[in-house]
Amino acid sequence: MVKIILRGKEYEVRPGMTLLSALKRIDILPESVIATRDGELIVEDEILREGETIKLVAVISGG
């Protein structure tokens, strides 16, 4: 499985799907996040691999 983390909340999706499909599956708007793999930014067509962790950084910040 692939682990996706946003603001401490964890989600799991099947490997082999694109980042865009994974975000749709877990109901996160692609516009609202930037995805990183091992600290590197990845874009929507990236294929997610078995066992990896994708960290999402929220776009909106208020203050």
Partner 1 sequence: MKCRTCGQKAAVNMRQHKLALCKEHYLEWVPAQVERFIKKYRMFSREEKILVAVSGGKDSLSLWDILHRLGYVADGLYICLGIDEGIAYSSESQRLTEEFAAERGLKLQIVNIQQQTGMTIPELSTATMRGRGKSCSVCGLVKRHEMNRIARDFGYAVLATGHNLDDEAAVLFGNTLTWSGEYLLRQGPVLPATPGLARKVKPLCRLYEREMLAYALLRGIEYIYDECPFAVGATSIYYKELLNELENNRPGAKLSFYLSFLEARKKGLFAEPEAIQQELHPCPNCGQPTSAPGLCAFCKMTSKANTV
| Interface contacts to partner 1, rule CB under 8 A | 29-32, 34, 36, 40-45, 57-63
In whole angstroms, how close is the CB of 56 to partner 1 at the nearest point? 11
Q: Which residues are within 8 A (CB) of 30 and not within 5 positions of it... i.e. 6 or more apart?
A: 20, 23, 44
Q: Which residues are within 8 A (CB) of 51 and not within 5 positions of it... i.e. 6 or more apart?
A: 1, 2, 15
- Between 13 and 56, whose beta carbon lies closer to partner 1? 56
- Between 1 and 59, whose beta carbon lies closer to partner 1? 59
In whole angstroms, how close is the CB of 14 to partner 1 at the nearest point? 21
DSSP class of 10: E
